[in-house]
């Protein structure tokens, strides 16, 4: 029995439902925007490969304890901002709010400490923090991170800062400022903290509500409070730089000398402490400059040394240094710095050949021919969904290909194909057996 010829109207499957929207604070990155991401990733790869960094991926989901111990119980991230849940097996899990604890876990768990040190790693991926969404602040955002584990030399701190600076500079950005400080080590920071707490306690009534709380949990964080009244207090507070032990002092001096020698512009900022507990010695941030003024609001990136973190997370004593750049924020200023780098944005990948197919028989042969071209390293594009030769030729000239291969029913039957030079419009008939040699000749491959 033959199939019914008449087209039958399909019944609607379901009642139209309300579309589901994305989760608050999360964003879709659509294809035109992706050009910026690709451009940035290309520059990242170019710069980090000079320093022999290797790419690593770690899971987005980790045990909550990793961040409680690593990022630190007293930080805003762990206290207020993690997406944590108990899974069906009763495990306490969290979406990673930052990358470094996961890398440190992977370093110890996979025995990377037995490799020649330092181990230099980079990764680009999503981070999750339940902050109040606003301009430049998302609940899912992406970071480029670099980490150097297994060496304490100050030149590596300078290398990490250099990489952050070079990436931004290569992107054509100029409106940013690098802020650098040393937060000392366990020894000297302890002593400094006592002095700071004494000073802040005697000025407690002038501090904001948050800083009164910070004074108890994380007094160093008072130093980067944005509140005007707190700023007045902080201006007179003791500075950590005056309390550094000899080793931390010498290390910091060396880092600054490397930066000076490399002509990397920076600003010494004695109030910079960063939000995380684990930093030791060098700490730095990259601030955007707007209206001539650098501001910590919407910082582009930051990092520093974390010599104790591997041990805190159960590994061996391993000095380390790293940094993170916020991809969305970097792209935001890339767009604002009018025109810079735009000419370099890759829009459509350039191809040499377009395969044009006419009729059912040709369309069925098309994927086989595309397979042959791919296997012979000829970059080809197609528009299999299109029917007319006019619209396919229009796509071919829009894509800027050199040649079009045109396959119709006749060509399928006699195993030939038309080759059209897109510039001159001249067409020739070829045997399908000669496609590759002819294309290689024309494309000089």
- The residues binding ligand AMP (CB under 6 A) are 98, 129, 131, 137-138, 141, 143, 275, 299-302, 324, 326, 328-329
Nearest-CB residue to ligand AMP?
326
Query: Please, what is the minimum distance in Å from the beta carbon of residue 209 to ligand AMP?
Result: 22
- Cα 52 from chain centre: 18
Query: Please, what is the minimum distance in Å from the beta carbon of residue 238 to ligand AMP?
Result: 24
Query: Please, what is the minimum distance in Å from the beta carbon of residue 364 to ligand AMP?
Result: 49
Pairing outcome for strands 176-182 and 140-149: unpaired
Note the residue count of the chain.
445
Q: Is the Cβ of residue 72 or residue 355 nearer to ligand AMP in the bound state?
A: 72
Q: Name the H helices within 278-388.
A: 309-312, 327-336, 360-375
Q: Is the Cβ of residue 58 or residue 143 nearer to ligand AMP in the bound state?
A: 143
- How many other CB atoms are found less than 10 A from the CB of residue 227? 16
- How many other CB atoms are found less than 10 A from the CB of residue 381? 17
For residue 41, CA distances in Å to 51, 125, 127, 137, 334 come to 16, 11, 17, 21, 14
- How many other CB atoms are found less than 10 A from the CB of residue 241? 17
Query: Please, what is the minimum distance in Å from the beta carbon of residue 329 to ligand AMP?
Result: 4
Q: Is the Cβ of residue 80 or residue 350 nearer to ligand AMP in the bound state?
A: 80
Q: Is the Cβ of residue 251 or residue 329 nearer to ligand AMP in the bound state?
A: 329
Dihedrals phi, psi of 286, to nearest 5 degrees: -115, 115
Query: Please, what is the minimum distance in Å from the beta carbon of residue 282 to ligand AMP?
Result: 14
Contact 356, 405 (CB under 8 A): yes
Q: Please, which residues bridge with residue 125 across strands?
A: 143
Query: Please, what is the minimum distance in Å from the beta carbon of residue 27 to ligand AMP?
Result: 10
Q: Please, which residues bridge with residue 121 across strands?
A: 54, 147
For the record, the structure tokens of 107 come out as 């370093």
DSSP 114-174: GSSSPEEEEEEEEEE--PPPBTTB-SEEEEEEEEEES---HHHHHHHHHHHHHHHHHTT--
Q: Is the Cβ of residue 25 or residue 408 nearer to ligand AMP in the bound state?
A: 25
Q: Is the Cβ of residue 53 or residue 141 nearer to ligand AMP in the bound state?
A: 141
Q: Is the Cβ of residue 281 or residue 329 nearer to ligand AMP in the bound state?
A: 329
Query: Please, what is the minimum distance in Å from the beta carbon of residue 424 to ligand AMP?
Result: 51
Query: Please, what is the minimum distance in Å from the beta carbon of residue 319 to ligand AMP?
Result: 20
Q: Name the H helices within 16-153.
A: 31-50, 64-67, 76, 100-109
Query: Please, what is the minimum distance in Å from the beta carbon of residue 95 to ligand AMP?
Result: 13
Q: Is the Cβ of residue 179 or residue 318 nearer to ligand AMP in the bound state?
A: 179
Q: Is the Cβ of residue 323 or residue 380 nearer to ligand AMP in the bound state?
A: 323
Contact 158, 252 (CB under 8 A): no
């Amino acid at each position: 029995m033959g199939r019914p010829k008449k087209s039958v109207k399909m019944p609607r499957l379901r009642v139209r439902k309300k579309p589901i929207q994305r989760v608050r604070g999360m964003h879709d990155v659509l294809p035109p925007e992706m050009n910026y991401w690709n451009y940035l990733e290309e520059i990242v790869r170019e710069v980090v490969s000079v320093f022999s960094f290797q790419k690593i991926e770690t899971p987005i989901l980790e045990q909550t304890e990793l961040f409680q111990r690593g990022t630190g119980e007293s930080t805003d991230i762990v206290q207020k901002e993690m997406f944590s849940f108990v899974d069906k097996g009763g495990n306490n899990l969290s979406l990673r709010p930052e990358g470094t604890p996961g890398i440190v876990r992977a370093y110890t768990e996979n025995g990377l400490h037995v490799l020649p040190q330092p181990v230099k790693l980079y990764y680009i991926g999503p981070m999750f923090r339940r902050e109040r969404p606003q301009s430049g602040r998302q609940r899912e955002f992406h970071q480029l991170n670099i980490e150097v584990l297994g060496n304490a030399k100050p030149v590596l701190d300078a290398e990490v800062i250099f990489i952050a600076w070079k990436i931004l500079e290569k992107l054509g950005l100029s409106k940013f400022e690098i802020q650098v400080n040393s937060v000392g080590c366990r020894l000297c920071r302890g002593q400094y903290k006592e002095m700071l707490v004494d000073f802040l306690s005697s000025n407690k009534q002038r501090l904001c509500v948050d800083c009164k709380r910070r004074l108890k949990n994380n007094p160093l964080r008072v130093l980067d409070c944005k509140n005007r009244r707190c700023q007045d207090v902080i201006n007179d507070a003791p500075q950590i730089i005056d309390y550094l032990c000899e080793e931390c002092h010498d290390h910091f001096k060396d880092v600054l000398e490397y930066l000076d020698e490399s002509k990397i512009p920076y600003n010494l900022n004695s109030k910079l402490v960063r939000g995380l507990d684990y930093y030791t010695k060098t700490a730095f941030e990259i601030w955007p400059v707007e209206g001539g003024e650098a501001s910590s609001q919407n910082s582009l990136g930051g990092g520093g040394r974390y010599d104790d973190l591997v041990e805190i997370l159960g590994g061996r004593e391993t000095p380390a240094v790293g940094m993170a750049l916020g991809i969305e924020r970097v792209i935001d200023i890339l767009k604002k710095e009018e025109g810079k780098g735009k000419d370099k944005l890759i829009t459509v990948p350039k191809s040499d050949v377009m395969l044009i197919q006419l009729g059912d028989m040709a369309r069925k042969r098309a994927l086989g021919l595309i397979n042959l071209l791919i296997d012979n390293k000829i970059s080809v594009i197609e528009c299999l969904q299109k029917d007319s030769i006019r619209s396919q030729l229009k796509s071919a000239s829009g894509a800027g290909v050199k040649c079009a291969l045109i396959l119709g029913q006749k060509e399928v039957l006699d195993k030939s194909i038309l080759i059209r030079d897109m510039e001159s419009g001249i067409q020739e008939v070829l045997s399908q057996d000669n496609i590759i040699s002819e294309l290689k000749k024309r494309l000089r491959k």
